[in-house]
Amino acid sequence: MSKRTPLSIRWRRLLRFAVALAALPAGLAIPGAPAQAGEVQDRVQASGAVRVCIWPQYQGITWRDPRTGQLQGLDIDMARALAGELHMTLQFIDSSFPDLVPDLLHGRCDVAMFGVAMLPQRMEKLAFTAPYLQGDIHAITTRTSRLVRQWSDIDQSGVVVGVQAGTFMESAMRERLRQATLAVVAPPHTRERELLAGRIDVFMTDYPYGQHLLASADWATLLAPPQSFFPLPYAYAVRPGDAQWMATLDAFVTRIRQDGRLRAAARRHGLEGMLAR
């Protein structure tokens, strides 16, 4: 029986692949990609609508304001730009990270645009455009915490570290933690509620969510890693097997990076430092 490749090695291979992917010209077929084309592209053209999966709780990326019901965020702006270029009606479909793969494979949406990290397990099942953002793991704790006051306090005996179920933080922290206890938080529970109730001492998130939480929660403190901890590219995800649709999306990513629309949107939402290089 062959041994499974260690996750840390798979991550390094993924990052090298993502760098190479970002350098490919728009629309260029990737070696090994499925040759058949047209299924999703044909559906989009026939219906006159593009269905975009979002996670409406992702502040700064795809966020639905609970007071107004309005959507906002970098990928909301980019989804509107995509539909405008295609001269299509735009339909937002509520999804989540745990539902991402089945929602795409079962055809609930044509593309997922909500800061989807290029995880190895996702890349085994989905196709991705070239990266447009580069993220890393951050931490949220309370201002009054006695256990976690700096990054080095996180992986210590007696500390309970929370992660959102289905996010890349779950597998990343499961691999990285040596002394702390990992707690996976699944709906209807939230990491914030678990933290304030004292059931976890800190929770892991990314920069967009952490930055926007600071703006709305006076109890929160954002801890950044002192050096790169778990860098990861973000891209738009699609059901594999349609080279035409992938070429359309890759060309779109190239244009928004080159013409300044992506940078302008990132600046509006406080995410300019995350732009893929």
User: Could you say which of 3.40.50.150, 3.30.200.20, 3.20.20.120, 3.40.190.10 is the CATH number of the domain covering 137-223?
Assistant: 3.40.190.10
pLDDT of residue 35: 32
Two tokens, residue 92: 């937002």
pLDDT at 28: 36
Residue 36 confidence (pLDDT): 46
- pTM (2 d.p.): 0.77
pLDDT in tens, 110-167: 999 999 999 888 999 999 999 999 999 999 999 999 999 999 999 999 999 999 998 8
Decide if 116 contacts 208 (C-beta within 8 A).
no
Closest CA to 241 of 104, 52, 36: 36
pLDDT beyond 70 at 1: no
Pick the CATH number of 7-134+232-274 from 2.60.40.10, 3.40.190.10, 3.40.640.10, 3.30.70.330: 3.40.190.10
Instruction: Return the HEC string of 74-99.
Output: HHHHHHHHHHHHHCCEEEEEECCCCC
Alpha-helix residue ranges (DSSP H) falling in 28-143: 39-47, 74-86, 100-105, 120-123
Sign of CA pseudo-dihedral 162, 168, 174, 178: negative
pLDDT, mean over the chain: 88
Radius of gyration of the chain (CA): 19
Q: Do domains 7-134+232-274 and 137-223 have the same CATH topology?
A: yes
Mean pLDDT of 6-28: 48
Order of strands, sheet of 220-223, starting from the edge strand that comes earlier in the sequence: 181-185, 160-164, 202-206, 137-142, 220-223
Structure tokens at 163: 């992660």
Q: List the domain boundaries for the chain.
A: 7-134+232-274, 137-223
What band does 16 get if pLDDT is binned at 50, 70 and 90? low
pLDDT 10s digits, 37-92? 578 999 999 999 999 999 999 989 999 999 999 999 999 999 999 999 999 999 99
Answer yes or no: is pLDDT of 225 > 50.
yes
Cis-peptide, bond into residue 188, ω within 30° of zero: yes
Question: Which residue in 159, 5, 154, 133 sits closest to 60, CA to CA?
Answer: 133
Amino acid letter at 244?
A: Q
User: Looking at residue 6, what is its pLDDT?
Assistant: 52
